[in-house]
A and B are shown apart, each in its own frame.
Chain A
Amino acid sequence: MDHNKKKAYLVNTIAVVSLYLVFFGLIQTKTMNNYFVGIAIMTCIMIIMAMSLNIVAGFLGEMALGHAGFMAIGAYASASFSMALVSSGLPLPKIIILILAMIIGGIVAGIFGFLIGTPTLRLRGDYLGIVTIGFSEIIRIFFINFGPTGGAAGLKGITRLVNFHNVFWITIIIVLLIFTLGRSKQGRAIISIREDEIASEAAGIPTTRYKVLAFSLAAFFAGIGGALYAHYQSFLEPSKFGFMFSIEMFVIVVLGGLGSLTGSIISAIVLTVLPEMLRTFSEYRLLVYSLVLIIMMIFRPQGIFGRSEFSLTAFIESLIQRKNVKNSTDGGEVS
């Protein structure tokens, strides 16, 4: 590992740990009340949703407009599992139940990602987008009609296993995994398909296999996000997982920059926190939100970060450099 990379890793690690300690302090000293902690937890979940969607929308470059469907599958599957586990009376620590529920939610969602992706990914662009909407709506309507999980009235009584502390670190781990995925041979293969599918196939990449892989992975992580959502809200309702929610997640990724993971993180934070802060203006909130969307697309369509990543290390260095230049403007030479 070269020196620059080591430096970056160190800076990022310190930043993450410090961030956690700040939140830890705020929560312990009750400076942050439950309402704000709730926002923080939802932000973490939305970060996971945005990053998972970025695998398909950003890395693969396909319009996946049905992400809420996979979140729903993960939510309901994990909730059913944990409720069964809890009622069986097995004395397992909460964290274990959560992890198992997450894995179940992820795997079930991933399997559906595979099943849906395999036929669907033969389509491109707009057509793919519509079909994903179709599948997502079918999933939602299924849960409205599926008695065992409460139907339209919803699923109540899910144990609240999620708190800020575990969700923070789970989010960090998932963020890291998706990052490393992007910089691995599989990530490169997926990105090459986005760049030029025909050339990718001609360079030896089994494109169909990788498209389905990207889709399944996105679904898997969406399922984990859904599991976390279920075990935080303690209550699931099919109407929450509609087309509009898919669009919201898609917009988060686009505004952050398709293909930029840091963009997704920052965008998810801003677009989850800001609306909550502006709740008093909730009438105008969505109006302003949609205007911002339109203006962004006209003036900066690539999103905040485009395809590149925000580097904390580079940012800090640029701040230091600027300070140094300021300090040496007294007759000194500008080198």
Chain B
Amino acid sequence: MNLFLQQLINGLNVGSIYALIAIGYTMVYGIIKLINFAHGEIMMFGAYFAFIAATSFQLPVWAVLLSSMIIMSIIGVTIEFIAYRPLRNAPRLSALITAIGVSLFLQNLALIIFKPDPKVMPKIFPETIYKLGEIDISSTTLITIGLSLFFMVLLDLYIRKTKQGRAMRAVSEDKDAAILMGINVNRTISLTFAVGSALGALGGVLFSVAYIQVYPTMGVMPGLKAFIAAVLGGIGIIPGAMLGGFIIGMVETMTKAYLSTTWADAIVFAILIIVLLFKPTGILGKNTREKV
């Protein structure tokens, strides 16, 4: 039982990180129907900037997080402007390939700038172990889960209660109608990328604190899994990304604990396949018919 509860906490930890990254995927897909393959690299650069802030500049924790999130926001918006906006009206496939190109570009840029050897992320959070009965919960875990939930709630409020949030929802539903309503679509899309990238960066920082290493290809697998999480929950639906993130985190943790480490990834993929075959729109998704 204790093992189970312990793994539950681990699952929540990993899950909240996946959820943060998944939100970035789902927001972008929701608004421009693009799978932003480069999002995993946003997460990776977020980790690197945090590393630099923490080691070279010795900034306090809050500054490390904030600076990473703000810088990646700007970078995310820039990427959209340079690589995705020109393809706004191009077929989906072209935009997808471009996203793949950006992903490869960023990975190799990091490789050249930072070199392939992994960096060690310093412990930016206070390290205390709390005991709940026989279970250990580290403060890092609590902070990770706490920060994630905090930002998710913040995002939910933002989307539901603010003008910009409503604009994002409008553009996701019907871009042309939104334009007619006087919404500045370009700005809304840029904002979406900014928010998504900031959350992705945060996910990257938390990931590197949890798994210690920072290296150029660290975004590939988590990115893929976070994307699967977004699809699982219902692509384009923000609560779906959160739900999907936690589920994938749980599945991965439980599989590693009870079955096998090497098969954990395969099981995550298998779940994805099963969900897509039986409910392609995801857990929280709606069914849409094509008009004939």
Tell whether A130 pairs with B265 under 8 Å between CB atoms, given A123-B277, A290-B102. no
8 A Cβ contacts from B258-275 to A: 262-263, 265-266, 269-270, 272-273
Residues of chain B lying within 8 A (CB to CB) of residue A131: 272-273, 276-277
Tell whether A126 pairs with B280 under 8 Å between CB atoms, given A131-B272, A293-B101, A298-B87. no
Question: Which of A43-51, A141-149, A205-213, A217-225 lines the interface with chain B?
Answer: A141-149
A169 beta carbon closer than 8 Å to chain B: no
The bracket for how many chain B residues form the interface is 35 or more
Residues of chain A lying within 8 A (CB to CB) of residue B111: 283
CA distance A289 to B101 in the complex (A): 8
* Cross-chain contact A301 with B92 (CB below 8 angstroms): no
CA distance A289 to B111 in the complex (A): 14
Contact of B227 among A130, A254, A293 (CB under 8 A): A130
CA distance A277 to B241 in the complex (A): 44
* Cross-chain contact A198 with B87 (CB below 8 angstroms): no
* Cross-chain contact A141 with B87 (CB below 8 angstroms): no
B127 beta carbon closer than 8 Å to chain A: no
Mostly, the A contact residues are helix
* Cross-chain contact B87 with A301 (CB below 8 angstroms): yes
Contact of A119 among B100, B109, B277 (CB under 8 A): B277
Q: Mark interface residues in A193-213 (1 if CB within 8 Å of B CB, else 0).
A: 000001000000000000000
* Cross-chain contact A293 with B100 (CB below 8 angstroms): yes
B98 beta carbon closer than 8 Å to chain A: yes
8 A Cβ contacts from A275-298 to B: 283-284, 286-287, 289-291, 293-294, 297-298
8 A Cβ contacts from A76-119 to B: 119
Q: Mark interface residues in A126-145 (1 if CB within 8 Å of B CB, else 0).
A: 11011101110110011011
A165 beta carbon closer than 8 Å to chain B: no
The bracket for how many chain A residues form the interface is 35 or more
B112 beta carbon closer than 8 Å to chain A: yes
Residues of chain B lying within 8 A (CB to CB) of residue A283: 111-112
| Min CB gap B191→A, angstroms | 23
Residues of chain A lying within 8 A (CB to CB) of residue B276: 123, 127, 130-131
Tell whether A137 pairs with B266 under 8 Å between CB atoms, given A127-B231, A297-B94. yes
B224 beta carbon closer than 8 Å to chain A: yes
Q: Closest B-chain residue to A197, C-beta based?
A: B290
8 A Cβ contacts from A56-74 to B: 63
* Cross-chain contact A134 with B272 (CB below 8 angstroms): yes
B168 beta carbon closer than 8 Å to chain A: no
| Min CB gap A88→B, angstroms | 32
A159 beta carbon closer than 8 Å to chain B: no
Tell whether A291 pairs with B263 under 8 Å between CB atoms, given A63-B96, A198-B290. no
Most buried by B among A131, A135, A198: A131
A120 beta carbon closer than 8 Å to chain B: yes
| Min CB gap A256→B, angstroms | 12
CA distance A284 to B112 in the complex (A): 8
A7 beta carbon closer than 8 Å to chain B: no
* Cross-chain contact B97 with A293 (CB below 8 angstroms): yes
Tell whether A286 pairs with B35 under 8 Å between CB atoms, given A130-B276, A131-B273, A297-B94. no
A268 beta carbon closer than 8 Å to chain B: no
CA distance A144 to B260 in the complex (A): 13
Q: Mark interface residues in A234-271 (1 if CB within 8 Å of B CB, else 0).
A: 00000000010001001100100010000000000000
7 contacts across the A-B interface (CB closer than 8 A): A63-B96, A126-B92, A141-B265, A144-B262, A293-B97, A297-B87, A297-B94
**What residues make up the interface of B, taking CB atoms closer than 8 Å to A?**
35, 83, 86-87, 90-98, 100-105, 107-109, 111-112, 220, 224, 227-228, 231, 235, 262-263, 265-266, 269-270, 272-273, 276-277, 280, 290, 292
- Contacts A134-B273, A137-B269, A293-B104 aside, 19 further interface pairs with beta carbons under 8 A come to A120-B277, A125-B92, A127-B276, A129-B35, A131-B273, A134-B228, A134-B269, A134-B272, A137-B265, A137-B266, A142-B266, A198-B292, A243-B224, A286-B104, A287-B112, A290-B101, A293-B100, A294-B101, A301-B91
| 8 tightest A-B CB contacts, nearest first | A293-B101, A290-B104, A301-B94, A290-B105, A134-B269, A294-B101, A141-B266, A297-B98
